[in-house]
Amino acid sequence: MIPPEWDDTPIADAARRAARIQNPDRLTLARPPRTRRITIANQKGGVGKTTSAVNLAWALALHGLKVLVVDLDPQGNSSTACGAEHRIGTPSSYELLIGEKSPAEVIQGNPENENLFCIPATIDLAGAEIELVSMVRREYRLCDALSPSYLEREGYDYVFIDCPPSLGLLTINAMNTATEVLIPIQCEYYALEGVGQLLNNISMIREHLNPEIHVSAVLLTMYDARTKLSEQVASEVRNHFGSAVLENQIPRSVKVSEAPGYGKTVLQYDAGSRGALAYFDAAVEFAERGDYLPLPETAPIGVAPELRTGSSN
């Protein structure tokens, strides 16, 4: 019989990698020199924003990095996947935004992963857009609460902000808190629908509100290798965004779709599935290459043209 460690078939390789995910004691990644603050954004719904946010966060937390997920979507799907309580009345991102609670009062730890933390969203957040209009520094409420100095002091390595698929005050608060934008794009028809407007919005926010914000990664999701369409969409996205696109792409997977129904990330639900392994690899790639800063001559709209390629590691 061939020893398992010598078996180089795809099934054996997947089994070995799944075992590592389920027993992460030896998983390590270098900590970034300062907290990386990322908002997951796309104004088109159903592209995998929440799924990408929670699975990337979970994978990085498995490597011993301290990760905070901030849920700014009133639906609270990120909160569910992170195992955070988010019933009406639970201290949440709503109370944080309007100044009723401090970060320490709203942050919840994950019962299964000691490195993952979450600021949940409740249905109260649905009315926050209206309440924020009359508030002082309405575009910076989240940034003021989760300042870089606070995040550094608390030892967070990564902050992922999941926001709704619209450009309102919630999304603007997210982009004023982050320095990086990760754009998930599904490999289907109308993949780039809304992305042009999103990039223009990022450019406007850079010009008027937050000069540090830029696109640091594009993640291809729902990739189906059996179809020519996925290949064509992926090629179009890579031609437009260049090397900002992560090499690892997320396949269309039943397990990825099923996991939210159990209130889990796909890495918890089925660590050996193609979707789980893809998100694990994408998270490692995202961490190891650092903050992507594109060359001016290849920078797509919305990416800071004065910045150069570099890594924060």
The pLDDT of residue 280 is above 70: yes
Reduced to 3 states (helix: H, G, I; strand: E, B; else coil), residue 144 is helix
Contact assessment for residue 73 and residue 119, using Cβ atoms and an 8 Å cutoff:
no
User: What is the chain's mean pLDDT, rounded?
Assistant: 86
Q: Which residues contact 136 (CB under 8 A, 6 or more apart)?
A: none
pLDDT-derived band at 230, boundaries 50, 70, 90: confident
Residues 140-156: pLDDT tens digits? 999 999 999 999 999 99
Residues 171-223: pLDDT tens digits? 999 999 999 999 999 888 777 777 888 899 999 999 999 999 999 999 999 88
Residues 32-70: pLDDT tens digits? 999 999 999 887 777 889 999 999 999 999 999 999 999
Full DSSP string of 116-134: EEEE---GGGGGHHHHHTT
Q: Among 215, 155, 141, which residue's Cα sits nearest to residue 35?
A: 155
Q: Among 113, 37, 26, which residue's Cα sits nearest to residue 70?
A: 37
Query: E strands, the chain, where?
Result: 36-40, 67-71, 108-109, 116-119, 158-162, 180-186, 214-221
Cβ neighbour number for residue 134 with a 10 Å cutoff = 7
In the chain the domains, ranked by start, together with CATH numbers, are 30-298 (3.40.50.300)
How high is the pLDDT of residue 171? 93
- Helix 274-288 and helix 10-22: axis angle, to 10°? 70
Reduced to 3 states (helix: H, G, I; strand: E, B; else coil), residue 52 is helix
Phi, psi for 232 (deg, rounded to 5): -70, -45
Task: Report CA 111 to chain centroid distance, whole Å.
Answer: 20
Residues 109-121: pLDDT tens digits? 999 999 999 999 9
Q: Judging by beta carbons within 10 Å of its beta carbon (0-12, 13-18, 19+), is residue 38 exposed, middle or buried?
A: buried
Burial readout 45-62 (b: 16 or more C-beta within 10 A, e: otherwise) = eebbbbbbbbbbbbbbbb
pLDDT-derived band at 304, boundaries 50, 70, 90: very low
CA gap 214, 240 in Å, rounded = 15
3-state SS string over 161-210?
Answer: EECCCCCCHHHHHHHHHCCEEEEEEECCCCCCCCHHHHHHHHHHHHHHCC
Q: Among 32, 97, 19, 38, which residue's Cα sits nearest to residue 64?
A: 32
How high is the pLDDT of residue 306? 38
Q: Which residues contact 242 (CB under 8 A, 6 or more apart)?
A: 294, 298, 300
Q: Which residues contact 140 (CB under 8 A, 6 or more apart)?
A: 173, 176
* Residue 309: both structure tokens together: 């390629």
Contact assessment for residue 52 and residue 250, using Cβ atoms and an 8 Å cutoff:
yes
Burial readout 267-306 (b: 16 or more C-beta within 10 A, e: otherwise) = bbbbbbbbbbbbbbbbbbebbebbbbbbeeeebbebbbee
CA gap 55, 59 in Å, rounded = 6
